[in-house]
Amino acid sequence: MVQIESQTANTSYKQDEINYMVTLYNVVSSDGYIATKDGNEDFISDKTWDDFIRWCRNNDAVVIGRKTYETLQEYGEKYTDEFESLKTKRAVVTGNKEYKIKKGYVAMSSPQACLALGENILISSGPILNTSFLSEKLVDKIIINALPVKIGNGVRPFKKNELDRFTLISDKEKSDGSRLLIYQVKSVA
């Protein structure tokens, strides 16, 4: 298991001279939800899915929670085939040691165990796993792809006060009206 020494901006985890970068990525509606209360994500377009796939390619591993994994399986082959053909490792976090997942995914028992997957790790999950990573102070950067669509009521990506430890370093509006917000963890004095 990887031991964490300290958290600072940019290069959070120093162990054996390896610098780990853990990025949390979510697509949110303009009113701040990642899905409706019943788990519907129809506000996310195919173009936005393609953006997500590009972010995945830029990392050694992409990590999702067990519930996001199950939701993804319901999306259909168009999406699962693309996700599952990535060279990037795919990991599912579950506390259930007996949980059976498809070939092509690796089961991880905790957020911290995921640090062994590579130097650049992308987390893209719901509030349960996102909050686990954030509360264990394992996240360096948060990327929010905010779409110009309101869904009214739904699921937040994580507890709002988790952003207190982060600084907004970039806020770019794209031609389709979406905004890409990038937050970086504040330096520890």
User: Under DSSP, is residue 124 helix (H, G, I), strand (E, B) or coil?
Assistant: coil
Is 75 one of the binding residues for ligand NAP (CB under 6 A)?
no
Name residues contacting ligand NAP, limited to 144-183 (CB under 6 A): none
Is 53 one of the binding residues for ligand NAP (CB under 6 A)?
no
Among 12, 124, 178, 184, binds ligand NAP (CB under 6 A): 124
Sign for the pseudo-dihedral over CA of 118, 109, 74, 25:
negative
Residue closer to ligand NAP, measured from CB, 12 or 130: 130
Return the residue nearest ligand NAP (CB atom).
126
Among 24, 61, 66, 90, binds ligand NAP (CB under 6 A): 66
Q: Name, in order, each residue with C-beta under 8 angstroms of 13's C-beta and a sequence gap of 6 or more.
A: 2, 4, 5, 6, 7, 19, 20, 22, 115, 138
Among 13, 65, 89, 142, binds ligand NAP (CB under 6 A): 65
Q: Which helix (H) or strand (E) holds 168?
A: strand 166-173
Residue closer to ligand NAP, measured from CB, 9 or 67: 67
Cα–Cα dist 161/2, whole Å: 27
Q: Which pair of tokens denotes residue 116?
A: 């062994």
Residue closer to ligand NAP, measured from CB, 2 or 9: 2
Asked whether the beta carbons of 2 and 116 are under 8 A apart, the reply is: yes
Asked whether the beta carbons of 69 and 104 are under 8 A apart, the reply is: no
**Footprint of ligand NAP on this chain (CB under 6 A)?**
26-27, 34-35, 39, 41, 64-68, 71, 93-96, 99, 110-111, 124-129, 132
